[in-house]
Amino acid sequence: MNTPSHLILNLAVLRRPVAPVMTWPVLIGGLIPDAALFVFYAWARAQGLPEQTIWSEAYYSQPWQDIFAVGNSIPLGLLAIALGYYLKRYWLGFVGASMVLHHLADLPLHHDDAHRHFWPLSSVRFISPVSYWDADHFGRLGATLELVLVLVATAYLLPRLSSRVSQAVLGTTAVLITGGYLVLVRPLG
Ligand SMILES: [Zn+2]
């Protein structure tokens, strides 16, 4: 799944109806699994690599694959939940829960770019038949599923947000995601 989709979905599922609503811990936990990806992309662009090489070769190279594995670890997310509970730092528990929800949403939607979700316990990768982007692996289906989840989550969240600014940010993000879908995915056929 794309990062903005994760953030909207995680907020809809994990944000609490009463204070403390935990918006920031949910956003941070939803972002952590993809954080290394942004650093990787900035590095690859700085190296002058063409877009094609970045995603078909550099992405699969070491040490990047090892670095991605850390952020995508379900055991690490569970550890954060346990620590948050044990130390009574509930924000930390929400960071962990949001990480795990991000992993669970990625698990069925990655084909050969699947993450090592069980690091450091196992390096097994679940190769899903459905990809969220790859047209050769039901990419259109995966992307449509992602868009539907985002729209349902947005419809649920919008009336529950108290500030006009948050509503505007959420609404704009959902419109941009829908626009991206219409431009990039529909022509896949
Ligand atoms: Zn992800």
Can you give the residue ranges of every domain in the chain?
3-188
User: Ligand 1 mean position to 73 CA, how many Å?
Assistant: 11
What is the residue-level pLDDT of the chain in tens, covering all 189 positions?
A: 999 999 999 999 999 999 999 999 999 999 999 999 999 999 999 999 999 999 989 999 999 999 999 999 999 999 999 999 999 999 999 999 999 999 999 998 888 888 998 999 998 888 888 888 888 888 888 899 999 999 999 999 999 998 999 999 999 999 999 998 888 876 655
Q: Which two tokens stand for residue 2?
A: 């794309």
Question: Residues of 110-130 as b/e, b for ≥16 C-beta within 10 angstroms?
Answer: bbebbbbbbbeeeeebeebeb
User: Ligand 1 mean position to 115 CA, how many Å?
Assistant: 8
User: Ligand 1 mean position to 59 CA, how many Å?
Assistant: 14
User: Ligand 1 mean position to 7 CA, how many Å?
Assistant: 10
Residue with tokens 């903005």, as numbered in its chain: 4
User: Ligand 1 mean position to 106 CA, how many Å?
Assistant: 6
> How far lies 23's CA from each of 14, 30, 121, in Å?
8, 11, 30
User: Ligand 1 mean position to 2 CA, how many Å?
Assistant: 7
Distance CA 4, CA 1 (A): 9
User: Ligand 1 mean position to 112 CA, how many Å?
Assistant: 14
Residue 1: which of 118, 148, 163 has the closest Cα?
A: 148
User: Ligand 1 mean position to 111 CA, how many Å?
Assistant: 13
pTM to 2 decimal places? 0.91
User: Ligand 1 mean position to 168 CA, how many Å?
Assistant: 24
Q: Are 16 and 161 in contact (CB under 8 A)?
A: no
Distance CA 189, CA 180 (A): 15
Residue with tokens 């995680």, as numbered in its chain: 10
